[in-house]
Amino acid sequence: MGTGPGLVEPFEARVREHLAQGRITFAPRHRVDALVTSGEPTGASAEASTVWSTRASTGVPSGQAVTGVRGTVLASDDAPRGVATNREPVGEFEFTAQAVLVTSGGIGGNHDLVRAAWPQRLGPPPGVMVAGVPAHVDGRMLGISAEAGARVVNADRMWHYVEGLRNWNPIWADHGIRILPGPSSLWLDATGARLPAPYYPGFDTLGTLRHLRATGYDHSWFVLTRRIIEKEFALSGSEQNPDLTGRDLRLIAGRLRGGAPAPVAAFLEHGEDFVVADTLGELVVGMNRLATGSGAPAISEPALRALIEARDRQLANPFGKDTQLTFVRGHRRSLGDRLLRTAPPHRLLDPANGPLIAVRLHVLTRKTLGGLETDLSGRCLRADGSAVPGLYAAGEVAGFGGGGMMGYSALEGTFLGGCLFSGRQAGRAIAAQL
Ligand SMILES: Cc1cc2nc3c(=O)[nH]c(=O)nc-3n(C[C@H](O)[C@H](O)[C@H](O)COP(=O)(O)OP(=O)(O)OC[C@H]3O[C@@H](n4cnc5c(N)ncnc54)[C@H](O)[C@@H]3O)c2cc1C
């Protein structure tokens, strides 16, 4: 759920302890623009987009080592966490070190880079996306590392969500929030056609992305009821989960009480992607108004009514043949899902369950699954397989380890593990080398 502060806390405490002991020098507002090799600057000329799309790297001549970093000191800034800070240069710096570990994150904040690397197997890249990561996730260090000889691999592997909302209260530009959906919402493409099995909410992120990209339109829709949103909508991000982020047991218990959690209710009230209506006719008018300019044909009320009625009819029969409803019933066999995550199956068109809600969904950029190729010690490798002396990489910039530890599809929610583990591997290897 992205409740990062709690995860960072134990590491932060240790870093602060080392700072107090004078063992660490912390240099905020220092932006690395180049890696220094054997005392010689390699320059910051590599455009990340070129490196990312062509995977070319001129590289440091063999025999030379990375011996430090150089860059720009940026003006101080008291912007809150996540908000893009100023890029105003106030000085330059150069640090020398026996080893440099790059942990600069992925590319999801730079949509041009995402589009440049977008793989054909996922269809054409979307024209409109929302950013699920802050502006600092800009992919710039990939080009800079490649200039120093590191090889970028598996650039076509990426993980983006298909349930992105435009944040009504954005922290960064184009800020998107991902819905962590329960299984009951009806999922329609931009033309109003229901998505085929198994592309139900929360089932297969990349499969659904591939399917939706083939429709030729950038957005899709959830159609649901008040009862579903109250039980099944959770939002990703630490600020969207004040109960978990703040470890507030009273607020957490509120999840059991029912009613939409406060962050979801705020989206219902302010979010530009939401349509709330008492009748299907009004809902469709609202959906078509929102989709104006998207190029998608207008959704037809009779067609949508027929689709929902066919789905609702299946509820009358315990042996119903609606695959999604069968899955919903399966979810409810698990106590946790029944209590917290899955609304009892009900008729969408029964006003007692209303009002009806439609939510326009965008592609939301998130994880970069490829990156700097490393060996098991986190040492960056050149195209010929030899290590770039002194240069290490870990975390998302290294594809969560190695240059693509997750493979093509990844496993939802396990990305931080790769960051921590690859960081530990690299840290131990560097300590052994010093
Ligand atoms: C809302 C949200 C929810 C998420 N939820 C989950 C989840 O539930 N489970 C999960 O496993 N993963 C989740 N993730 C993904 C996970 O948080 C990231 O993959 C992970 O934080 C990446 O860590 P990192 O240290 O490699 O990079 P980052 O956390 O991106 O850190 C990179 C750092 O490098 C700095 N930097 C970049 N370039 C330079 C430069 N040139 N000079 C100096 N500094 C630079 C940046 O300022 C930043 O501080 C989520 C991500 C988001 C945004």
203-256 pLDDT, tens digit per residue, is: 999 999 999 999 999 999 999 999 999 999 988 877 777 777 777 777 766 666
Q: Do 330 and 241 share a structural domain?
A: yes
Q: What separation in Å is there between the alpha carbon of 29 and the centre of ligand 1? A: 17
**Is residue 171, in this structure, part of any structural domain at all?**
no
Q: Do 223 and 144 share a structural domain?
A: no
**Is residue 131, in this structure, part of any structural domain at all?**
no
Q: Which two tokens stand for residue 225?
A: 């009821």
Q: Residue 400 belongs to what domain range?
A: 4-104+139-157+369-433
Verify whether ligand 1 is closer than 6 Å to residue 415 (CB atom): yes
Q: Do 90 and 34 share a structural domain?
A: yes
Q: Do 351 and 207 share a structural domain?
A: yes
**Is residue 331, in this structure, part of any structural domain at all?**
yes
Q: Do 229 and 187 share a structural domain?
A: yes
Q: Do 326 and 426 share a structural domain?
A: no
Choose the residue to mutate in 147, 174, 415, 425 for probing ligand 1, maximizing ligand atoms within 8 Å of C-beta: 415
pLDDT for 260 beyond 50: yes
DSSP 293: T
Q: Could you give the number of structural domains in the chain?
A: 2
**Residue where a domain terminates, one of 364, 390, 415:** 364
Verify whether ligand 1 is closer than 6 Å to residue 418 (CB atom): no
Q: What is the pLDDT of residues 266-310, one digit of tens each?
A: 999 999 999 999 999 999 999 999 999 999 999 999 999 999 999
Q: Is 103 exposed, middle or buried (0-12, 13-18, 19+ CB in 10 A)?
A: middle
In ligand 1, which atom is closest to the CA atom of 137?
A: 30
Q: Do 325 and 244 share a structural domain?
A: yes
**Residue where a domain terminates, one of 347, 364, 381:** 364
Of the candidates 323, 313, 324, 321, the one whose C-alpha atom is nearest the C-alpha of residue 350 is 313
**Residue where a domain terminates, one of 364, 386, 409:** 364
Q: Do 332 and 215 share a structural domain?
A: yes
Q: What separation in Å is there between the alpha carbon of 84 and the centre of ligand 1? A: 14
In ligand 1, which atom is closest to the CA atom of 413?
A: 9
Q: Do 86 and 219 share a structural domain?
A: no
Q: Do 356 and 405 share a structural domain?
A: no
Q: Do 399 and 252 share a structural domain?
A: no
- CATH number of the domain enclosing 375: 3.50.50.60
Q: How far is CA 351 from CA 329, 356, 357, in A?
A: 22, 8, 12
**Is residue 172, in this structure, part of any structural domain at all?**
no
Q: Do 297 and 224 share a structural domain?
A: yes
**pTM of this prediction?**
0.91
Using DSSP bridges, classify how beta strands 387-393 and 100-102 pair: parallel, antiparallel or unpaired.
parallel
pLDDT band at 63 (very low <50, low <70, confident <90, very high): low
Q: How far apart are CA 131 and CA 165, in angstroms?
A: 10
